[in-house]
Amino acid sequence: MRCVCVCVVVLVALGVRVNSFKFKELMDYVDKHQEEYVQTLRDWVSIESDSSDVTKRAELQRMMGVVEEKLRMMKGNVDVMDVGTQRLADGSIIPLPKVVTAEFGDDVNKHTVCVYGHVDIQPARREDGWATDPYNLTEIKGNLYGRGASDNKGPVLAWIHAVEAYKALDIELPVNVKFLIEGMEETGSNGLDALVEAQKDKFFSDVDYIIISDCIWKSTRPALTYGTRGNCYFSAQVEGPKQDLHSGVDGGAVIEPMTDLIGILDTLISASGQILIPGVADAVTNFTEEERKLYEQVGFNLETYKSTIGVDRLMYDNKVDLLAHLWRFPTVSIHGIEGAFSSPGTKTVIPAKVTAKFSIRQVPNMEPAVVEKQVTDHLHAVFERRKSPNKLKVNMIIGAKPWIADPKHALYEAGKRAVKRVFHVEPEMIREGGTIPIARTFQDVTEKYIIMLPIGGFDDGLHSQNEKISRYNYIEGTKLFITYLQEVSLIKEN
């Protein structure tokens, strides 16, 4: 009889633990406050926090102040951390926007998660092709249009609202939550690597897991992201005459720098997408059958994708091959040329100096230092064969490593459970073709496990005109984050 009583007590105790998550109350709270959430996002989008434009630096500083104030109003343990200064092209030095951190809960018996996000944005102007004012959040057919709505102000706010819901209902957080919000992600997270290193044994000392929601789904189904590509970003400068020349007078007297530049750029990649730089693809990990099966399960539609990006033809005619080349194979992209005449009209000028910008997305096991040498050696060899009197200078500006996680880790299993509870579907397991350098920094420096948990839609238009987040994703994403905190609390440590 005593044994039965003990079992009953244990079951009751377990039942209390299982049922302590007040799912319905929290979900109802989010639904009742969604207009407030949309208005807060509208307020945040109205701040032109463009980190690439130093003339907007005051607005960026104001944005960081708004984040700090929001977290203080929630009674978090808030701090602002200095990440140093930035030297501008004219030699002047200005302070970088401070990183905002906050802590909610310090129970040593609970897991601690750190949520990372950023509130700086890409440039946006109405005349670039926006249908609405990019800094006035506008709702059209359930979509909330505005610069930063999806990248990354909406997801940051969804996380803040998730914690806020627990506190408003006086429900104990199932895990300790820390926030780390920065304002320079779109320009390379200036100063953040050094901050993470300095805070390894301080802010990050009790962190168990790091969560990043600066990414998007690949289809209409929710997703968990387990990998991103890195990025080696280069400039190649060809310099010739001391000054710009007139083609009608001097065109036959010199080898034009632009001709040399176009000539060497043409040796980077073939028309079929093959990288022509010797050795670059040699270190790429083999595409496994297990990976192929994961890609086959992604609900990615080629026709929808073509329509979304506005093309009639893609380089690959099946889903798996296309996803593989978007996610786990390196690619070369040419982004622009400085010094070239690009304004409307005609102009018969030979520029004296032109600079191309191009990048190579990195994948495991590529090393930026090796790629830098391969690219530099290749371009100089090609240039030498041209026997040009001009001068070539090649620089690698960014050398960001790829990041990849184990999609079978308990952190991802918790994500699957949370997605299924909120959205009633199994999530897709995806990788990201872009680069989020801080993920690899977090992994290498803190040695904590990381998950990327997106709520943005595949058609949100990050970095382009008419960026948006759907009201559905924003609100249901808040519910997902609330539920995910509960699921993480149930992870058993090995």
Compute the CA torsion angle 356, 361, 362, 367 (nearest 10 deg).
0
Q: Are 428 and 217 in contact (CB under 8 A)?
A: yes
Q: Are 475 and 34 in contact (CB under 8 A)?
A: yes
Q: Which two tokens stand for residue 191?
A: 């100063």
Among all chains, which residue has been given the structure tokens 């008419």? 466
447 is an active site residue: no
CA distance 401 to 339: 30
Burial profile 387-413: b = 16 or more Cβ within 10 angstroms, e = fewer: ebebebebebeebbbbbbbebebbbbe
Neighbours of 70 (CB within 10 A): 22
Among all chains, which residue has been given the structure tokens 């299982």? 18
CA distance 149 to 464: 12
CA distance 154 to 121: 12
CA distance 394 to 356: 10
DSSP-assigned letters across all residues of 147-197: TTIIIIIHHHHHHHHHHHHHHHTTPPPSSEEEEEEES-GGGT-TTHHHHHH
Angle among Cα 465, 469, 473 to the nearest 5 degrees reads: 160
Among all chains, which residue has been given the structure tokens 């951390």? 81
DSSP-assigned letters across all residues of 225-242: EEEE-EEEEEEEEEE-SS
120 is an active site residue: yes
Catalytic residue among 68, 120, 164, 460: 120
Catalytic residue among 164, 185, 186, 291: 185
Size of the chain in residues: 494
CA distance 26 to 107: 22
- Residues contacting 310, CB < 8 A, separation 6+: none
CA distance 103 to 177: 6
Question: Distance of CA 262 to CAs 173, 238, 344, 354, Å?
Answer: 58, 10, 21, 10
Which residues are identified as catalytic?
A: 120, 185
